[in-house]
Structure 1
Amino acid sequence: MSDIETSTVSEEGYASTSQVGDFELTIDATNEEGPTPQQVLVADYAACYLPAFRVAANKSGVDDLGKVQIDADADMDDNDDVQAIRFTIHTETEIDDGDELVSKADDICHVHDSLRSELHAEVDVNGGAF
């Protein structure tokens, strides 16, 4: 049996609906009825990286980061393939060594491990936000 099972259906055109457990997500290559697959990839990466960053902080003795926000942006080539991803992490709590947390978060984030190394996000950490 598989660990993850999804079902994706498109009745016509370029929009599809993916069923993931009890959740439904509309993804549209034309960006009319939902986000594009590339946008979902970047958002999924950030959504995985944020809790990994929290765990990394906790393992480094930072008990509470407060509010955390990841602003993600990506570059695409002429074929609409994602070529680069960048994260800027804003934390409510001041961070002494953001590079240490990034290194640990890289090891924890499952999406990070799943992507080719050329597509790993470049990450900047900014404390004292909000």
Structure 2
Amino acid sequence: MADIEVESTCEEGYTVESIINGEWQLVVDALSEEGPSANEVLAADYASCYIPAFRVAADKHGYDDIGEVTVEVAADLDEDDDLEAIDFHIEVEESLGDDAWDIVELGEDICHVHSALREELHAEITIESGV
């Protein structure tokens, strides 16, 4: 059994309903009409992964409670609607002083989505048609 199991179904059009680990439902719409697009979900997922990683990094630098953390994500698409750039603007309630950039970098090392965004990570695909 895999660590993560997702069943995604598209009955028609461009809206995909996914069941994650048999429990969580996610609706993604390529046209952003019935839900967020895949790129929008990826941008939100990246920030949702990075914030806890940032908190762990701050804890490792001796900050027990850094308060509220907000990440504003700005993502640029190219002419093919592929993600071209992602920028984070991070606001932290606690002052991190000279440790801020060390915490940012350690957060990147800890964040699983940051680690996954590399060219060599692509799906291994098999296909059955006419089923």
The TM-score with structure 2 as length reference comes to 0.86
Hey, which of these two has a bigger chunk of strand by percent? 1
Separation in 1, partners of 2:66, 2:118? 29
Aligned residues: 117
The corresponding residue for 2:49 is 48
Q: Percent identity?
A: 49
Matched, 1:103 2:105: yes
Partners of 1:26 and 1:40 lie apart in 2 by: 10
Cα RMSD for the two superposed structures = 1.0
Q: d(CA) in 2 for partners of 1:58 and 1:51?
A: 10
Which of the pair has more CA radius of gyration?
2
Runs of 4+ in 1 over 6 A off after TM superposition: none
Map of 1:121 onto structure 2: none
Which residue number in structure 2 is paired with residue 23 of structure 1?
24
Match of residue 122 from structure 1 = none
Give the structure 1 partner of residue 3 of structure 2. Answer: 3
Q: CA deviation at 1:95?
A: 1.3
1:35 matched residue in structure 2: 36
Identify unmatched segments of 5+ residues in structure 2: 120-131
1:116 counterpart residue number: 118
Offset from partner CA, 1:93-124 (integer Å, 9 cap, x none): 1111211001110110011000027xxxxxxx
